Amino acid sequence: MINILLAILFSSLLYIVFKGFGKFSINTFQAILINYVVAFLLGTLISKNSFQLSEVHTKSWFPFTLILGFLFITVFYVIGKTTQINGLTVASVASKMSMIIPITYGILIFNEQATFKHQTGIFVALSAVYCVSIKPNEKINLSHFQLPILLFFGAGIIDTLINITQHSFLLKEETAFFSSFTFLMAFLFGLIYFIYLQFKTKIPFRIKDILGGIVLGVPNYFSLYFLTKALQSENMDSPTIFTILNIGVILLTTFVGILFFKEKMSKKNYIGILLSILALFLVTH
């Protein structure tokens, strides 16, 4: 359970850091690029086993690091574009509701138990995600569905691939190295895109962009690390883990927004919090 709680904490910190980027006018893409370098170095330092990069291609989980690395940088970009074009509400609902993809996969492929109470908890959790995500005076733009659909499937596929990797290919002692190498792949894909952008418009790195990337890289690495560790637990199945993680992040970021960023809450938001607590009870008992 401690791994799930830590995954919730560090995942929530990601949103808080992104919130600060707007306040300090930090270039989000450049900070994301730096954050992957930081995340890779963290994993290399934390890893208890010594691995040679030249041997990584021999690992059974190597192909997944390539796919996940590409998806990490792409989905981060899609989150930004969805927020700008479709609004924060649509982006939040699309990304959080994607939890249904790894949960469904775990039930169908890994034959994980899904009782009526469990299924009800997942439904209540999705309802809670929707209610908490709706902010006062926000209108959902229904004329653009392409980006939200990409975000929904992108975030869901990432969680599903992580679930597959830890179930079938990843040894427990390789968790730190797998996480760090995945971030290295994300950096390399991002670097290719950054070089392409430099030919179109040359935007130099600033000190605050680098610092923003460092601050983002720490929770980014540990959010993946502790999620992978949680999924390796024999006491809890993946539907329960993903449900608790997503609801926990929503609850924590909501409270932080109210206490520190003075965000306003509607009646639907409070209903969503109550539904979140109910969903947690249903899936964990």
pLDDT tens sequence for the chain (285 residues): 899 999 999 988 887 888 788 778 888 889 999 999 998 888 888 776 666 677 788 888 989 999 999 999 989 877 767 765 665 556 666 777 777 787 778 777 766 666 777 778 778 877 877 787 766 666 655 555 677 788 888 988 998 898 888 878 888 778 777 888 888 999 999 999 889 888 887 778 899 999 999 999 999 889 888 988 888 877 777 778 878 888 888 788 878 878 887 777 778 878 887 887 888 777 665
Q: What is the pLDDT of residue 68?
A: 94
Q: How far apart are CA 105 and CA 40, in angstroms?
A: 28
Residues in contact with 127: Cβ distance below 8 Å, sequence separation at least 6, in sequence order: 272, 275
Domain of 88 in residue numbering reads as 2-284
Residue position matching structure tokens 């208890």: 48
Cα end-to-end span (Å), the chain: 14
* pLDDT in the model for residue 192: 92
Q: What 8-state DSSP symbol labels residue 136?
A: T
Per-residue pLDDT at 67: 94
- Amino acid letter, residue 60: S
pTM (predicted TM-score): 0.79
Q: C-alpha distances in angstroms, 208 versus 28, 47, 107, 160, 173?
A: 11, 29, 44, 34, 35
Closest CA to 49 of 181, 162, 187: 181
Radius of gyration of the chain (CA): 19
**Which residue matches tokens 């509400």?**
89
Contact (Cβ atoms closer than 8 angstroms) between residue 125 and residue 246: yes
Q: Residue 17, SS3?
A: helix
CB atoms within 10 A of CB 236: 16
Tokens read off for 225: 């690390």
HEC assignment per residue over 141-164: CCCCCHHHHHHHHHHHHHHHHHHH
pLDDT of residue 95: 77
| Alpha helices by DSSP H, 169-206 | 175-200
Number of separate domains in the chain:
1
Handedness of CA 102, 108, 111, 112 (dihedral sign): positive
Which residues make Cβ contacts (< 8 Å) with residue 41, sequence separation at least 6?
180
DSSP state of 98: G
Locate tokens 């902010």: which residue? 135
Using alpha carbons only, give the angle 244, 223, 40 rounded to the nearest 5 degrees.
160
Q: Are 43 and 225 in contact (CB under 8 A)?
A: yes
The single-letter DSSP state of residue 24 is: T
Give every CB contact of residue 214 below 8 A, 6+ residues apart in sequence: 34, 35, 38
Residue-level pLDDT at 190: 92
